[in-house]
Amino acid sequence: MFYEQRTSVPETAADLRAEYDDQLASIVDRRGLETVAERTSADRDALEALLAGESPALSLEAAAEIQALEDGEPDAETIETMACEHLLLGMTTAVLDVDAVESHLELDLDAKEIQQKIERRAPMSFEEYVRLQHVIAGRAR
């Protein structure tokens, strides 16, 4: 599950994203496109793209809502909170501050924006989450 604490990551952020996309697509496939479209904020095109093996634009919130549809999973709010808390924990473990994360992150986000997203004071896309997790867990080795 994407919200769990990672101590290792694949070679690239794209590989990590593909891993998570596969997991989310599997949930959409099991629960049904219509059900997932009705019960989450993810748009139908994004859900169809997941099923087609693509990496659609999703918010972290939408990814958490999809994950929460799986049996035995916490609610979406808890998943999103845990995901961000694990980023913070990973930064502590890797002895990284937001400036260090910014220097390794291949996104156009400054340190302040990174901090706001991790602290959930600003919305985060699933792509941003995956890239942040890749940088943080990759430095914790």
**pTM for this prediction:** 0.94
What angle do the packed helices 111-118 and 126-139 form, to 10 degrees? Answer: 100
Q: How far apart are the first and last CA of the chain?
A: 20
| pLDDT tens for each residue of 91-123 | 998 899 999 999 999 899 999 999 999 999 999
CA 14, CA 18: separation in Å to the nearest integer? 6
| pLDDT tens for each residue of 26-56 | 999 999 999 999 999 999 999 999 999 999 9
Q: Are 38 and 31 in contact (CB under 8 A)?
A: no
